[in-house]
Chain A
């Protein structure tokens, strides 16, 4: 069974440029999460989807970040415009449902903003 797929694995952009990350969860997983992981820290939840509905986006900086999960499968996280402080690893995870014990994580996208 394929795991959570993320692309790109690495992205380098200049500040004020837009950037987008893509995630394909494990087939059949209804719940999808986007996390932000700063260097030397644990992941922090940005947004959680139940199918196509964003049920928890309280930590998503909505002035520059947006996300979508059309058709309840793949998801895209966008930053526009990117700032220096956005340099981090963006992790996507999925689980069968919110109450599912195990979240399966993708390899992450490492973003560097110059």
Chain B
């Protein structure tokens, strides 16, 4: 069965520093996708970045990059040069691509707080 684990319930980071949010996953499916979403206090889930299990390179989107280590089953999110607006909940998620259900499951989230 699929499982997503985020072991950091909360993190405090100084503005302009880089931050890494941890995510480990478990799946028996060889084909899957990994996502990161940001949820600010307004409640809306905002898609940040996607990594396919067969992608050769780590995904990057602006200040976001995904440190994908397939053998370790980890998909950590790296935010470079953090900003005050990065303060939010961050969720790691996974979908088994070949599954007919194609269900996405989410981790429990990490609350990131950026200090000025």
**Which residues of A line the B interface, CB within 8 A?**
40-45, 48, 56, 58, 89, 91, 93, 98-99, 101-108, 110
Contacts and interface: CB of A to CB of B under 8 A. Distances in A.
Interface residues of B, number: 23
A101 B102 CA distance: 11
A46 B61 CA distance: 30
Nearest to B50: A101
Contact of B43 (A48, A58, A110): A110
B37, B44, B93, B101 — which one has the most chain A CB atoms within 10 A of its CB?
A: B44
Given A45-B104, A56-B102, A108-B43, 15 more contacts: A40-B108, A40-B109, A42-B91, A42-B107, A42-B109, A43-B91, A43-B106, A44-B106, A48-B102, A56-B103, A98-B102, A101-B35, A103-B47, A105-B44, A107-B43
B62 to A, nearest CB: 15
Contacts of B42: 107
A44 B91 CA distance: 12
Contacts of A56: 101-103
A101 B107 contact: no
Contacts of B91: 42-43
A94 to B, nearest CB: 12
B33 to A, nearest CB: 7
A101 B33 contact: yes
